[in-house]
Amino acid sequence: MTIKLPEDAKSVNPNAITDGIQLPFIHGFFYWVNGKREMSELANASYYGGWFGNDDIHEAAVNEFGAGPKVELVTRMGNQGEYAAYCTRSLTLVPVRTRKRWTDGKSHSQTLCLVGIKEKNLWKQWGPIVITAKGYSTDRLEKAFKMWDAETKEARAKVAPGVPSWFFWSAIGTFGEHQDEMVGKFKQSPITPITAFVPQITPELMEILYVGDETARYISDLSSASEEWATDKKWLKSEEKLIEPEQHTDAPPPDEDDLPF
């Protein structure tokens, strides 16, 4: 089978880095949190690193779109005391639009995505979310998307010539054992690198991970609806640097039951 996008679903480019305002539709919101070794007993995203979302925002998205990705409710400490949040080590998604800026000398990106959930061994769309990363994690998120693009290029060319990687579900987050990466030019500190889950890529897998024509059109609609969010100059930005995909790490693979696909 040769995959071809519908004619009205070819204008999406999540790598167009611009600025923005409030999105005109309901969406979830997750931010990246580095893992902490002292939380090993929890054995969740607090230890391994992953995506966190405030409980009220996530619950509003669930009320709108139905049961979403598998998450765990945890308690976190903020400036005003404890608060509840949902967390997950990874999200299966496709990026739609990204905006990026510099604040206090650190990069800050927000990426509008469409999240996928697995139902009866098939992937389907759930709803839009915004994922945000800051500092070195911004760079690692960019690398994760670029890795997925590079690693799937050959297989996509066989079954979906000309179809970009962001029309195929990808799992972004942490996988396998806890990982630390030391960063900083002068004073170094550990971060948890955001990665893409890259299994053995085959044309058959690409057919399974293709979002489908209807979802491809919806992604295009999301891109159009988020135009003002992605171009408002009040959200200051700097020019994005192009980054080559990372090589695979030597971290052990996740347990078979935890494989995204």
Task: Summarize pLDDT for 155-197 with one digit per residue, the tens.
Answer: 999 999 999 999 999 999 999 999 999 998 888 999 999 999 9
245 pLDDT band, cuts 50/70/90, is: very low
Q: For position 15, what pLDDT does the model report?
A: 54
Report whether pLDDT(19) > 50: no
Report whether pLDDT(81) > 70: yes
Q: For position 43, what pLDDT does the model report?
A: 92
**Which range, of 46-60, 119-133, 235-249, averages the lowest pLDDT?**
235-249
Q: Quick one: which of 113, 136, 156 has its CA closest to 34?
A: 136
Residue 210, CA distances (Å) to 54, 56, 118, 159, 177 in order: 30, 31, 13, 10, 28
Q: For position 233, what pLDDT does the model report?
A: 80
Q: For position 185, what pLDDT does the model report?
A: 84
Which tokens sit at 10? 């070819």
- What does the pLDDT average to over 96-106? 88
Q: For position 78, what pLDDT does the model report?
A: 78
Q: For position 12, what pLDDT does the model report?
A: 59
Q: What is the pLDDT of residues 213-243, one digit of tens each?
A: 999 999 999 999 999 998 888 875 544 343 3
Q: For position 21, what pLDDT does the model report?
A: 78
Compare 99 and 246 and report the one with higher pLDDT: 99
pTM, full prediction: 0.84
Compare 137 and 12 and report the one with higher pLDDT: 137
Rounded distance between C-alpha atoms, residue 260 and residue 132, angstroms:
21
Q: For position 7, what pLDDT does the model report?
A: 73
Rounded distance between C-alpha atoms, residue 25 and residue 223, angstroms:
12
Report whether pLDDT(37) > 80: yes
- The rounded mean pLDDT for the chain is 86
Q: Quick one: which of 200, 244, 246, 98 has its CA closest to 209?
A: 200
Q: For position 20, what pLDDT does the model report?
A: 46
**Does the CA dihedral 49-51-54-58 come out positive or negative?**
negative
- What does the pLDDT average to over 63-80? 90
List, in sequence order, every residue forming a beta bridge with 31; answer none if it has no partner. 52, 132
Which pairs from 76-79 meet CB under 8 Å and 24+ separation? Answer: 76/52
Q: For position 11, what pLDDT does the model report?
A: 54
